[in-house]
Amino acid sequence: MGCFGFLKVMMFAFNGIIFLAGAAILGVGVWVKVDSGSVLGFLQKIDNAPAELSQLLNVGYLLIAVGAVLLVIGFLGCCGAVRESRCMLLLFFIVVLIVFIAEVAGAVVILVFKPLAEDLINKLGTKAVESIKRDYGENPDVTGLWNVTMDTLKCCGFYGYTDFTDSPFYSNNMNQYPSLCCPSNDNPCNATVAASVSNTTITGCFPKFKKLIDDNAVVIVAVALGIAALEICAMVVSMTLYCKIGSKRD
C-alpha cells in the first residue's frame, strides 16, 4: 500500500469514527428535547429566572446541531476518500476549517467575557437557592432532581446545607436537613451535624462541580488541544488527497 492508499484508509477510518460520534450526539440531542423530566425542564420551571438562563434551554438544539455537523463532516470525509471526489474533499476541508475557526473564536470569547459567565453563575445560584427554599420537600420534581444530583455528586445544596434552611422539608421535619447532607451518620441531620460534615467531606454541589473541573483542567485543556490537532491533521490530509487526485487526473 502506497502513501496515497494509506492516506485514503486513514481518512476513511477517522471520518467513520466522526460519523458514528455525530450519530450518537444527535441521538442524545433528540433525547434531551423529548425528555420532559430532564434538568432542562426543571430550569424552565424556575420562577423569575435570569434572561440569560433561557439560552441553557437550547442545549438540546445545540447537541442536534453538533451531531448534524459531525455527520456531514464524516460523510464528506468517508465518501470523498473512497470515491476520490475532489469536490467532497474540498467541502470537507472548508467545513472543518469553519469549525476550527469557530472553536478558536469561542475560546477567545470565553476568556474575554469570563466576568459575564461568573455573573450568570451567581444569578443561577441565587435562583437555585430560592427554588430549594420554596419547593424542596413539597414539589416532587424539584425534590427528586436535587436528591439525584446530591447523591450522584456526593454534595449538599447548591452552595451548602444552609440552602435548605426554611425550606418545606426543613419546616416539616423538625428543622432537620436532608439525610444526603449527613451521610454515614446515625444522628439526626440537624444544623450541628450538617455543619461538622460540611467542614470535612460534604460541600455544596456548585463548589464540588467547580472543584471537579479545576482538578481536571489539565485533562480538559489536553483534550481541547488534541481535538484542534486532529482537525489540523484532517485538513492537511484532505488537502493532500485533493492535490494528489488532481495530479492523477491531469
Q: pLDDT tens-digit profile of 190-232?
A: 888 888 876 667 888 888 888 877 787 788 778 878 888 888 8
Q: pLDDT tens-digit profile of 162-192?
A: 999 999 999 998 889 998 888 876 678 888 8
Q: pLDDT tens-digit profile of 237-246?
A: 888 888 888 7
Give the residue among 15, 56, 39, 10 at the shortest CA–CA distance from 240: 10
d(CA 232, CA 217): 23
> Is pTM, for the whole model, over 0.85?
no
b/e sequence 24-57, b meaning 16+ C-beta within 10 Å: ebbeebeebbeeeebebebbeebeebeeebeeee
Q: Which domains does the chain have, with CATH numbers?
A: 3-112 (no CATH), 115-209 (1.10.1450)
Q: pLDDT tens-digit profile of 62-78?
A: 778 888 888 888 888 88
Q: Which grid coordinates belong to 100?
A: 476550527
